[in-house]
Amino acid sequence: VAGGPVGEEVRPYLALTQKLGTLLSALSPAAPSSLTVEVRGELAAEDVTVLQLAALRGVFSGVVDEQVTFVNAPRLAEELGVSVEVVTEPQSASHRSLVTLRAVTPDGGTLSVSGTVTGLDAVQKLVEVNGRHFDLRAEGTTLLLEYPDRPGVMGTVGTLLGKAGINIEAAQISQTKQRSDAVMLLRVDRPVDGGVLDSIGAAIGARTVRAVSFG
């Protein structure tokens, strides 16, 4: 990896941080104007500079045509005018270690996604998307749906996916306190084509429908 050896404590977070960047890219297809990699908890004591390269690799995966590597990511950031910084904080309220990517989009909007690595098996998990809390493995194909909260949405989504021969492996819903809207994350067993995504979005009145491949 460019920048020298990667510490054993940091290594599991390389793939996670790239996945967080990929999720950011799905939420905002244009390159952000700025990107902050925030590292909290025990991991903050390590040299985590390399995580900014992993984040850029994920963010640019949906922005540029060329293959993004740890070597060319800094050049791409400069060419696209993306400022990047790494911020560390030794305290973490809810996880031993937590990585958060915060992006400012070209139109001035803000996005955030967070993840952690847990257990002896180093399971990578998504734990936050734009302030909504989750606990879902970051693997395979994951759908993100934002929609007006009402009964029956989960059933509708499951039916449409089932008709397409797609199984739901895991799902979580995060609602606002006012229960006015909700965000659903679903991990499914195969890629979902655009037609199925469009039908789901139309059926539930979704404001956001995204599919992310975490590999």
Q: What DSSP string runs through 17-69?
A: HHHHHHHHHHH--SPPSEEEEEEEEGGGGS--TTHHHHHHHHHHTTT-SSPP-
Q: From 186, 123, 120, select the one nearest 153 (Cα to Cα).
A: 186
| Coil, helix or strand at residue 158 | helix
* Class for the domain spanning 141-213: alpha beta
Per-residue pLDDT of the chain (215 residues; tens, 9 = 90+): 455 578 889 999 999 999 999 999 999 878 999 999 999 999 999 999 999 999 999 999 888 888 999 899 999 999 999 999 999 999 998 999 999 999 999 999 999 999 999 999 999 999 999 999 999 999 999 999 999 999 999 999 999 999 999 999 999 999 877 668 999 999 999 999 999 999 999 999 999 999 999 97
**CATH superfamily for domain 11-137:** D-3-phosphoglycerate dehydrogenase; domain 3 (3.30.1330.90)
Biggest distance spanned by C-alpha atoms of the chain: 52
What are the structural domain ranges in the chain? 11-137, 141-213
**CA pair distance 113, 84, nearest whole angstrom:** 16
Neighbours of 71 (CB within 10 A): 11
